[in-house]
Every structure is written in C-alpha cells, then in structure tokens.
Structure 1
Amino acid sequence: ARPCDASGNFLPEGTPPFPSLACTKNDWSSFNDRIQFETVEFIFTHNQMSAGHFKTLNALWMAILAKHHDRPPFKNIKSLYKIVDSIPLGDAPWWEMTCSYTEVEQAMGLLPKWETDKHHVWYRDPRAVVRNLLSNPDFDGEFDYTPICDHTQTDGLHRRDFMSGDWAWNQANIITRDEKTHGSMFVLLILRSDKTTVSVAIGQNEYYPLYTSIRNVHNNVRCVHQNTLVVIGFLAIPQSVRQHVNNPEFCKFKCELFHTSIKVILSLLKNTMENYVVLWCPDDHFRHVILGLGLFIGDYPEQALATSVVQGWCPKQVIYSWVYSHITHPCYSDV
C-alpha cells in the first residue's frame, strides 16, 4: 500500500507524512467565530437543550440585542441545525429509510398490524464511517496496511491479526489483477448485529443496531474498544400479535425487510469495492483504498435470517433443490 498525496499521486519512497490535519488554535470552522462554537457546545453538550427551549431563549436574546442593533449568533433553530450539519469532522450524518408491506390485499375486517405499519430504518453512509475510522491517529502503530506473514516464531508461521490470514492475502491478489488498483490498501469491513443489545438494556423492541468495524486494526486495539466498533444503522423489527408470528407471509416479510435494509446500506460501498478512493490513514499518509465485505457476526437466529435458511438448519449447509421440494412453507423466522 503505497502512500500518495491528496490527489492520489504516488509519492517517492521515504516521503515524510503530511502535516497533521489538526485545526489551529483560532480555527473555528465551520462556525463563523468562537461565540457560535461555544453557543453550540453549551446547547448540545452541557445543557442538551430542546428545540423548543432554544426557540424561547433565542427570541429573548433577539429582543435584548435589538435595541443595540445587534443579533444573536443564530437567526433561528434551522440556522443552528444547518451549521451543525455542515461540520465535516466527527460522526457521519444519519439518513432515514421507510419500508412497508407492498402486497396488502383489500379485504373485509382489520388487517394485521405488520401489513399496515411503516417501518423506519436509520443508517449512516459506511464510506463516511470508514473515512472517520481510518483518520483516527490512535490506530497508528497498531494498523496493518498490507497482508502480513509473520515468521518470527520458531514453530513456523504465526497467525495473530486478521491481515495475517490467507483470506486477506487472497483478496490482495484479486486487487492486483487490475493495474489501476496496484499499490492500493485493502480495508475489510465486518458487520455485526445484536437484537438483545437494546431490548435487554432499555426494553426497546422496535429496532436493533447494526455495527461495523475494520479488521486492519490489531486485535489488542479492538479488545479495548478504542472506537473500532461503530453503529452504522438501526434495523426495524416488525411487530405482530402472537397468532401471526409463524405466519409464512410475516416470516417472509421479516426476511425481506432485513435484506432490503442491508442492501440499501451496503450498496453505497459498491463503487469503492471496484475502484479505489483516496483516504487519510492513521500514519498521516494518504493511500488508495479498496473496501471489501468480510464476515457477518450474529447469534444463530440472526445467522438464519441473514442466510435465509429455515430455523433449526445450519446456515453453512449446502441445501440442494430437492430438499426444498419437501417444504410447503419455509419460514424465515428470527424469533
């Protein structure tokens, strides 16, 4: 993985890293001045003020300053949100997707709740999440930019981090088939979901988190949770009464909702899996980066849901077509 400049031009070997992107003392970007910055810091961090309370405060602020022919740092709540959303640093913004059942039949009586509900899925651009992870200077010295072979042990090859495995080497070999991607760094994303995280903690059962991490980071860093695992989405959990829990259509809908949500989120990665993107790395160098998807980590019900197998079957098992001929209503249950 060869260092390059911000435009993607490779640098001569031994070129020192670029100066840190840290802001200068008097740089208040994206704010106009220090007053705006400290106002936002107070409202969002210290006071955690609601929008309604801010509107009241801002109206009083405007009334006081009007007689001095002056005005408060923000015109209204919209201008406050606009400048906060324009901050290029920190977390990636959240997007919303709404899904619903599209095969509702016009019938007499009440329809099941899951057929009429709108299911909201919140997610972040995984490309922005990866960009933030790679720019974390805390990973410097604990990060593999290429697959590695460690023969320092007397008993042969030493497997210690993910990039020392054969799978990482195979992916690097695939990347080298295209001359345009020579010199690129392979960054592997791993997904993880866990329904019990939210339901056990706060009793909430309408959504559950989807996480991602990059496996170029060494295992010892991941084990101490130094911001290596990031939430990229909150997946919807369709609700239904007990009598519809094992309904084949409801089971199918849950499966389709899960896969559609994952597809929308991960489709943003498609171009960066085929063409490199220039990103800032922990060692203060830019590099060509090719992203890739690796493992999905989940408990058995989530494995069955992700692989679309019948509950009770092995997600890894090869299922031949003749097996399906004996199944009248395959149920993709995650309960």
Structure 2
Amino acid sequence: MKKQLTIQQKRNERNGFLFALPWIIGFIGFSVYPLIASLYYSFTEFNPVMAPKWVGVENYRNVFDDPLVVKALSNTLFMVLVSTPVNLIAALLLAMVVTRNFKGRGLTRTIFFLPSVIPMVAATMVWIWMFDPTYGYINHFLSLFGMEGPSWLMDPRFTKWALLLMGTWSTGTTMLVCMNALQDVPRSYYESAEIDGANAIQRFFHITVPGIAHVLVYQAVLNMINAFQYFQQVYVIISASSGGGSNAGVASGGPANSILMYPLYLFHTAFTYFDMGKASAMAWLLFIVVSILTFVMTKATKRITENAGVE
C-alpha cells in the first residue's frame, strides 16, 4: 500500500520543485529546445531571412560531398588522435613530478596549473607573438642551437604542430586529476615491488598505469571531446592574421586550410555562408561521431578497470 505523504512533506516537495523550476525552464529553453530545433533544421533549407523549407536528407548529402568538410575533419582528427595522447602523457609526467616530495613543490604545482586559468583568447594572442618567425621567442630559442625556426603559423606543414604545442602548454587541469589519482595508489604496492627488485619502468607499467587506468581513459574521453570542439584558438589565430576577421563571405582556414577545424567550418557555414540547414546537419553528424567514440571508450574504460582490478 502506498504511503500517504504528510502535509509538510508535500510542502517540501513543492518548495523543492519551485526552487528547481528556474533551472528546469533554462534547461528546456536553452538546451532541449535548441537541440530539437537543430535536428529539424538539419532537414530543411534555412537561413535567417527565409522560412525553413523541407529538403529531406539533402543537407547530409551536401556535407558528404563537400571537400572542405573532408579537409576540416582530417584536421580535427589530427587534433583528436595526436593531441589527446600527447596532452595526456604530458599531464601524467607533470603529475608524477609534483607528487614527489621536494622543496618548492607547492610553487611548482601552481606554475604548472597556472596556464589552465589564463583566458584562452589572451593566451592565444601571446602564442601568436611567440610563434612570430622574426621576433618570436621560440625561433630565437632554436637559433641558440644553430637551428632556423619555421614560420609556424604561415607554413601549412607546421601550423597544426603549433596548435599541438599550444594545447600541451595548458594541461594543468588534467595534471591535477592525474596527481590525485597517483596519490590514491597504495604505497605498499611500490614497496613490495622494490623488494622484489622491480625497477622504475617496471613499477610504472605494472603498478602506476593499471592503478590509474580508469582515470586516464576518462581524461582521454574528455580530451577527445574537447579536441572535436577545437574552435576558439584557430578562430583567434585566423582573425589576427587577417586583420580582424575573414574576408566577407569567405571562410578561411589558415594557410592552405591547414587549421580549418570542423567546428570552425561549421561556424562559417552557419554565420558566413548563412546555410543554417547544412550547419545543423554538420553539428548532428559531429554529435553522432563523438557519441560513438565516447561509447567505445567508456566500454574500454570498464574493461581496463576490470583488468586492472580497480573497484
């Protein structure tokens, strides 16, 4: 028999719902409705000055037939497949450094984490200056060793590697997560391994990595999602190099479109070409790809965690 709620309990439930109501309205208005609307618009011909016209899957055909989509997707996959493991490895190495006991450890942690709290636009502008082939610090540093630095942001062969260097610089948040995970690995495991004669490399691969495998895969999923959304840095770089923005009506992706990322081309499709229907189709295709990869990596996380014996 269902238990009857008292008047006070009913009042508490009502008050709780009223407190949550502003968030619920905002979530529906700014998340659920735009999501459903974009799905509808992806099957229409639509721009800001005309009513949506149903075209079926024509937008999706146009996406697959567009060579710039292929270029943008290949650039984005570079960031996903290369920057994700590089950033994760860099964060793990930094975490291993700051978990050791040494004088000034707190200051070192602060220095490593500081880039993560600097606004992205400001940091990108600083990096643009540092990558300058004539006056930048990076090429000046290389010249000290007799090396001639490249035109980082003007040579298509080096533009994505410049982005990779920028991304590796700001891995402080991932470093903190890895640091906390390392501190949760029981020290007795390392002591037993040392007694058995295991060296540092063996302890790393047989104790450290399995002990934090679930955290590493989770961070890899987050970094992968962020890489698929790579937009702000390239937009600032292209805007700065073009004197404040792309030419009217022309989508720019840097030298030879070498840094034309998928979200950037989606943005240009929507707000430069005003093809909102195609842009919505591109957004939903990106959502599907990221969802599939996230599902696969989540399954991998469960398997790795079970194999590592992590509860």
TM-score (normalizing by structure 2):
0.27
Greater fraction strand: 1
Structure number with higher relative contact order (C-alpha < 8 Å, ≥ 6 residues apart)? 2
Identify the structure with the greater helix proportion.
2
